[in-house]
Structure 1
Amino acid sequence: MKIAYSPCPNDTFVFHALTHGLIEGAPSFGVTYADIDVTNHLAINGDPDKHDVLKISFAALPWVLEDYTLLSCGGALGRGCGPLVLTANDENNPNDLEGKRVAVPSERSTAYLLFRLWTAQQVEGNIGDVVVMPFHEIMPAVQNGDVDAGLVIHEARFTYQNYGLNKLVDLGDWWEKDTGYAIPLGAIIARRSVDREALTGWIKQSVDYAWERPEASKEYVRFHAQEMDEEVAQNHIDLYVNGFTKELGEEGYGAVEAFLGRAAKEGLVPGHQLQRLRDR
C-alpha cells in the first residue's frame, strides 16, 4: 500500500511500526514524506501516485469526501495545541489586526480556518492582506516587520519567544473556550476502495506499539525531524499524539462536525459533503 504523511515527529512516531513491518498481518507500505499542503493538494486536485492513505488537514476534508473516507484513528486532535497569532508588539487587542498584513502557512488549513473564524467573531473590521509563506519563514517575517502578524503552527509554539514576539491569541485556547471541543488538526483519510476496517485496526496497533515502545521509533523520528531539538520533538509528540489519535470517538467526531459546520456557515468550505464525515 502507499501512504503519505509529514516528516513531523507526531506522524513518524505514530506510523513507525506500521511502515516498518512491525504490525502482524499488515501489508508493506511505501511511504511518501510530504508537507500537509502537498497532501492536501494531492487529495483535492488529484494524486498521480494513487496513495491509498494520506494525512491531510481537517480543513481540506470537505473537498475530498466523495473519493476518500475519514479514518477514526491516526490523526491529531487535542487541547492546548492550537495555532498562535503572533505580533512584534505588546498589543493584545484583536481589533489591531484591522487592515493589517498577516502571514499564514496555508489558506486551506485548520490553522487558517480557525484564524478566519476567530477574526469573524473578534475583529470588528476586516484584516488586510493575507500572505501565504512557508511556516518556518513566518516568525522572521513578523520580527523584521515584513508583515504585521503571523499565524504559526507546530514547534513555533515553543520557540516564538526566541524571536521576541508576542502572542496575540492562542486559537486553540479560544476554540476550546468557545465550543468546549478539542481542536481538529490533522486527519487520516483512505481511498474508499481500501478495506477501512482492516486499515483502522493496523493503525491502532501502530499507535499502541509507539506508546508501549517509545524507544523503538526514536531514531526514525530524530532522522526525519532533521534539525529540530530532541526536547522540542518530544514536546511535539506529547501535544499531538493522544487518545484522539487512537480513536476519535463521539467527542472527536463532534469536534470535527462543529469546526467544519461553522466554517461552512461562514462560506469558508463547501458543506454539501459533510454528512459523509461518519461514513463507515
Structure 2
Amino acid sequence: MKIAYSPCPNDTFVFHALTHGFVHGAPEFDVTYADIDVTNHLAIDGDPDHHDVMKISFAALPWVLDDYALLSCGGALGRGCGPLVLTAEDEKDPSFLKGKRIAVPSERSTAYLLFRLWVAQQVKGEMGEIVVMPFHDIMPAVQNGEIDAGLVIHEARFTYQNYGLNKLVDLGDWWEKDTGYAIPLGAIIVRRPLDREALTKWIKQSVDYAWEHPEASKEYVQKHAQEMDDEVAQSHIHLYVNEFTKELGEEGYGAIEAFLERAAKEGLVPATHLDKLRN
C-alpha cells in the first residue's frame, strides 16, 4: 500500500509503527516523504491511483472529496499551535499589512486560509503582493527586508526569535477565540475504494504504539527531522499529536466544518457538501 506524509516529527512519530511492521495485520507500506504543499497538489492534480493514503491540509479537502475520503484519525488539529504572522518591526496593528509584500508557504494550506479569514475580519484596505516561497526561506526573507511579513508554521513557533523577528498575530489564538474550535491543520485521506475501517483501525493502533513506546520512533523521527534540534522535535510532537490524532470526534468534525464553511463564504475554497466529510 502506498502512503505519503511529511518528514515532520509529528507525522513520522504517528506513522512509525504502521510503516515498520509494528501494527498487527497491516500491510507493508511504500512511503513517500513530501511537504504538505506537495501532497496537496498530488491529491488535487495527481492520479488518485498513485497514492492510497495521504496527509494533506484540511484546506485542500474541498477539491479532493470525490476521490478520497477523510479518515477520523492520524491527522492534526490542535490548540496553541497556530500559524504566526511575523515582521521585522515590532508591530501589533493588523493595518500594517496594507500594501505590504507578504510571504506564505502555500496558497492551499490551512495556514493561508486562516490568514485570509483573519485579514478579511481585521485588516481594512487592500494588502499588497502575496509571494509563495519555500517555508524555510520565509524567516530569512523577512529578516533581510526582502519581504515585509511572513506567514510561518510548525517549528517556526519555537525558532522565530532566533531571527530577531516579532509576532504580529498568532492566527491559532485568533481562531480559537473567534470560534471556540481547535485549528484543523492536517487531514489523513484514503482512496474511496479502499477499506476505511481497516485503515482507521491500523492508524489508531499506530498512534497508540507511538504513545506507549515513545523511544521506539526517536531514531526514525530524528532521521527525517531535517537537522531539527531533538528538543524542538519533541516539542513539535507534543504540540501536534493529541486526542484529535486518535479520533476527530464531534469537536474535531465541528472545527473542520466551521473552517470550510467560513472559507467557502469568503470565496477561498469551493463549497463543500459536509456529509462527504463523514462518508
TM-score bucket of the superposed structures, by smaller chain: over 0.9
Map 1:155-174 to 2 at 5 A.
155-174=155-174
Per-residue deviation, 1:46: 1.6
Report if the CA contact (8 A) 2:48-2:67 is conserved: no
1:123 and 2:132 equivalent?
no
Runs of 4+ in structure 1 displaced over 6 angstroms? none
The separation in 2 between residues aligned to 1:114 and 1:226, in whole angstroms, is 26
1:101-116 alignment runs, 5 A limit: 101-116=101-116
- Runs of at least 5 residues in structure 2 that lack an aligned partner in the other structure: none
In the other structure, the counterpart of 1:93 is 93
> Counterparts in 2 of 1:1-280, with a 5 A limit?
1-47=1-47, 50-279=50-279
**Deviation for aligned residue 1:102:** 0.2
Q: Assess if the C-alpha contact under 8 Å between 1:75 and 1:188 holds in 2.
A: yes
Looking at structure 1, the residues matched to 194 and 167 of structure 2 have their Cα atoms a distance apart, in angstroms, of: 43
Per-residue CA shift, 1:81-101, capped at 9, x if unaligned?
Answer: 000000000121001101111
Shift of 1:50: 1.5
Cα offset, 1:199, TM superposition: 0.3
Give the conservation status (yes or no) of the 8 Å contact 2:91–2:167.
no
Superposed CA deviations along residues 161-195 of structure 1, whole A, max 9, x for unmatched, are 00110100000000000000000000000000110
TM-score normalised by structure 2 residue count: 0.99
Partner-residue secondary structure (3-state), 2:181:
coil
**1:232-275 alpha-carbon deviations (Å, 9 max, x no partner):** 00000000000000000000000000000000000000004443
Could you tell me how far apart the structure 2 residues matched to 1:175 and 1:27 are?
Answer: 39
- In structure 2, distance between residues paired with 1:98 and 1:223: 41
Contact 1:104 1:152 in 2 (8 A): yes
1:69–1:191: 8 Å Cα contact kept in structure 2? Answer: yes
Partner AA of 2:64 in structure 1 = V
> In the aligned structure 1, how far is the partner of 2:5 from the partner of 2:47?
14
Aligned-partner Cα distance in 2 for 1:172–1:211: 25
SS in 2 for 1:125: coil
Q: d(CA) in 2 for partners of 1:176 and 1:11?
A: 23
Residues 65 and 273 in structure 1, CA contact (< 8 A), matched pair in contact too = no
In 2 relative to 1, CA 49–226 (structure 1 residues): closer, same or farther, beyond 3 Å?
farther
Separation in 2 of the partners of 1:49 and 1:229? 36
Q: Using the TM superposition, give the Cα deviation of residue 226 of structure 1 relative to its aligned residue in structure 2, in angstroms.
A: 2.6
Preserved contact between residue 75 and residue 188 of structure 2 (Cα < 8 Å): yes
Q: Which whole-Å CA distance do the structure 2 matches of 1:274 and 1:63 have between them?
A: 13
Alignment RMSD, CA only? 0.9
Partners of 1:173 and 1:275 in 2: how far apart? 28
SS of 1:225's equivalent in the other structure is coil
Q: Distance in 2 between matches of 1:175 and 1:23?
A: 36
